[in-house]
Chains A and B, each alone.
Chain A
Amino acid sequence: MNTLMLQQQSLLDALFARPGSPQAAGAVHHLNTWIEPRASRGLMAYQANGHALAERCLPAAYPVVAQLIGQDSVHALARDLWHRHPPVGGDLAQWGDALPAFLSDNEQLAEARYLADVARVEWALHRAASAPDAEADLPSFGRLSTEDPESLTLWLVPGTALIPSDWPVVSLVTAHTSGEPTLAEAGQRVRDRVGETAVVWRQGWRPSVAACPANAFGLLRALQRGAALTEALGEAPADFDFSDWLTQAVHSGLVLGVADATPPPPKTPHTEETP
């Protein structure tokens, strides 16, 4: 490691060490061997700017988590996450992906276990907002009546995510973003431990979330991995009304068209069936 790397590492250590920790004191002591005296106010300015960025960005990506725990708590959470999981790139919109796992492991939030899954849904919404643009290819649906469904799949809009949960995550999110259901109803579903699977996708510019019907979950999960339509339909129950589901999925912008199915990976000696 050359001198410049050591100098830069000493400043980064001083900025990302948890305030008040022994590591922070050691890092500042080490930095002081490199920088001019009376630099403590300047170092504080950089630390404060990092915290301000964290406090602004985390609630922007997780507005419902922020409402659920309150402004002071989400700011404290943002500062804590900043030190435990610092940004790895210069695009701050990508920082914060560690929050769901961080919430899962947080003992202080043990009575609000649903928070981690709410955060997973919100991160999926955050990612969907900046997913690649794509327009529906309506003529491609004609392939459904002319080609072998073994070779076709449905093209989901970029940014689509499926998040199963033991908690009413969709109700919790939409109660805070659209008022439907009411907060009281969402609270009751939490107490009743109603599990919901969230499907996240982008309608135009708007990231959207809805509860995935139980009978469509297997189908959607298969389509996400590019499975052939016949295989995907095999994941749905026998009485599944595919025609009705497809009409709604196209109308909502979840399904954009029909595409070639992803060929299955070649079989390896370990997975080859015995004749």
Chain B
Amino acid sequence: MTAAEPSLQTHEVAPVGIGWRHPHHAELLQRQPALDFIEVHSENFFAPGGAARAVLRQGREHYDVSLHGVGLSLGSAAGIDAAHLDQLAALVAEIEPVRVSDHACFARGSLSSQPEHAVHAVDLLPTPFTHEALDAMCANVQRVQDRLRRPIAVENLSAYVRWQVNELGEPEFLNLLARRTGCHLLVDVNNIFVNALNDRLQGSLQDPLGTCRGWLDAIEPGAVAELHLAGHVDCGDIVIDDHGSRVVPPVWSLYRHALERFGAVPTLIEWDTDVPDLQVLLDEAATARGYAGQTLGTAVA
């Protein structure tokens, strides 16, 4: 297995971007607000022709683009879908993104009723933190990196079920993944907090913020390529990472902790449900810039 060449950029000021979703396609192109990058979900632009790809080309003329996937299924024991990887490779070749990322999850496999046919859950399903699962994810990540000829970043999940068979902690699993493949890590701060809140609901931990700080401290700093921030919803009996509201104060607090540990890492504001006015996302981005400036002692643009 060959590790990809490391190419993790260092920054003096944390670059801040926003998720660029359909309701804001036209407005962002018209206003062209000051952003360090925009992020899109890769699969939404897989089609080789049509309006969506054309809009992304226009966005790329004005901004660096981070391609964030939700469907590679990097943890799948059934492997990567070759057609999916072909489409991603074509998109990467055309858009020349500043980063390419996906999740430490699986979605692809077979049903016991039809073992010869692959299905895809189109969701971010947790994979066990076992050595067998690590081997599978390393092989898949390596295959993607070999095809794209660049490292990708792999994101930690909000997980709503936990496997009994875990042999490794999540940070250890991700650190080993990065070491073995040369991939980068994308740390979603909100996901860590959502998991901690759900663990508290299950009665398995008392101090979510302390647990999250410990999680961040266990991640090797040199591998982190991007931070994600988003809102979540508390349903009473479960907390869902719905990307449908502002970042909450405890997550901003964890963001500052992450900056202290990882440095000026590119930071994304995600908002995917009930997408508000573009200005709300820009305000959240400005808040992130402000915290980064305070935490790292750099001037805020």
Mark A residues whose CB is within 8 Å of B. 1-5, 7-9, 11-13, 15-16, 23, 34-36, 38-39, 41-43, 45-46, 49-50, 53, 86-93, 95, 129-134, 158, 202, 205
Q: Which residues of B contact A9 (CB under 8 A)?
A: 109-112, 115
What distance in Å separates the Cβ of B197 from its nearest Cβ neighbour in chain A?
13
CA distance A16 to B70 in the complex (A): 19
Which of B75-83, B220-228, B259-267 is near enough to bind chain A? B75-83
Q: Are A5 and B78 in contact, with the CB atoms below 8 A?
A: yes
Q: Are B109 and A12 in contact, with the CB atoms below 8 A?
A: yes
Q: Is the CB of B31 closer than 8 A to any CB of chain A?
A: no
Q: Are A12 and B110 in contact, with the CB atoms below 8 A?
A: yes
Q: A11-B125, A90-B84, A90-B120 are in contact. Are A35 and B47 (CB under 8 A)?
A: no
CA distance A91 to B107 in the complex (A): 12
Q: Are A90 and B237 in contact, with the CB atoms below 8 A?
A: no
Q: A4-B127, A42-B160 are in contact. List 19 more A-B contacts (CB 8 A).
A: A1-B115, A2-B132, A4-B77, A9-B109, A12-B119, A12-B125, A13-B112, A13-B113, A35-B162, A39-B162, A41-B238, A46-B161, A86-B111, A88-B118, A89-B71, A90-B73, A129-B51, A133-B48, A205-B54
Q: A45-B160, A45-B240, A91-B87 are in contact. Are A8 and B106 (CB under 8 A)?
A: yes
Q: Which residues of A contact B164 (CB under 8 A)?
A: 34-36
CA distance A36 to B78 in the complex (A): 23
Q: Is the CB of B123 closer than 8 A to any CB of chain A?
A: yes
Q: Are A4 and B237 in contact, with the CB atoms below 8 A?
A: no
CA distance A266 to B164 in the complex (A): 61
From the candidates A3, A8, A53, A92, name the one contacting B109 in the complex (CB within 8 A).
A8
Q: A2-B77, A7-B165 are in contact. Are A133 and B83 (CB under 8 A)?
A: no
Q: A7-B128, A41-B237 are in contact. Are A89 and B47 (CB under 8 A)?
A: no
Q: Are A5 and B77 in contact, with the CB atoms below 8 A?
A: yes
Sort A-B residue pairs by CB-CB distance and give the 7 closest, nearest first: A90-B71, A130-B47, A42-B160, A133-B49, A4-B77, A132-B49, A205-B51
What distance in Å separates the Cβ of A124 from its nearest Cβ neighbour in chain B?
14
Interface core residue of B50, B73, B130 (most chain A CB under 10 Å)? B50
CA distance A42 to B240 in the complex (A): 9
Q: Are A4 and B128 in contact, with the CB atoms below 8 A?
A: yes
Q: Are B111 and A13 in contact, with the CB atoms below 8 A?
A: yes
Q: Which residues of A contact B218 (CB under 8 A)?
A: none
Q: Is the CB of B205 closer than 8 A to any CB of chain A?
A: no
From the candidates A16, A36, A89, A130, name the one contacting B84 in the complex (CB within 8 A).
A89
What distance in Å separates the Cβ of A240 from its nearest Cβ neighbour in chain B?
31
Q: List 26 A-B contacts (CB under 8 A).
A: A3-B130, A5-B77, A5-B109, A8-B106, A8-B125, A9-B109, A9-B110, A12-B110, A12-B119, A13-B111, A35-B161, A35-B164, A36-B162, A36-B163, A38-B202, A41-B237, A50-B121, A90-B70, A90-B122, A91-B71, A91-B84, A92-B122, A129-B47, A130-B49, A131-B49, A131-B50
From the candidates B49, B53, B119, B161, name the one contacting A86 in the complex (CB within 8 A).
B119
Q: Which residues of B contact A38 (CB under 8 A)?
A: 202
Interface core residue of A12, A36, A41, A49 (most chain B CB under 10 Å)? A12
Q: Are A130 and B238 in contact, with the CB atoms below 8 A?
A: no
What distance in Å separates the Cβ of B190 from its nearest Cβ neighbour in chain A?
16
Q: Is the CB of B133 closer than 8 A to any CB of chain A?
A: yes
From the candidates A7, A90, A129, name the one contacting B107 in the complex (CB within 8 A).
A90
- Residue in B closest to A134 when the chains form the complex, CB atoms: B49
Q: Which residues of A contact B48 (CB under 8 A)?
A: 130, 132-133
- Residue in B closest to A16 when the chains form the complex, CB atoms: B111
Interface core residue of B46, B53, B70, B122 (most chain A CB under 10 Å)? B122
Q: Is the CB of B117 closer than 8 A to any CB of chain A?
A: yes
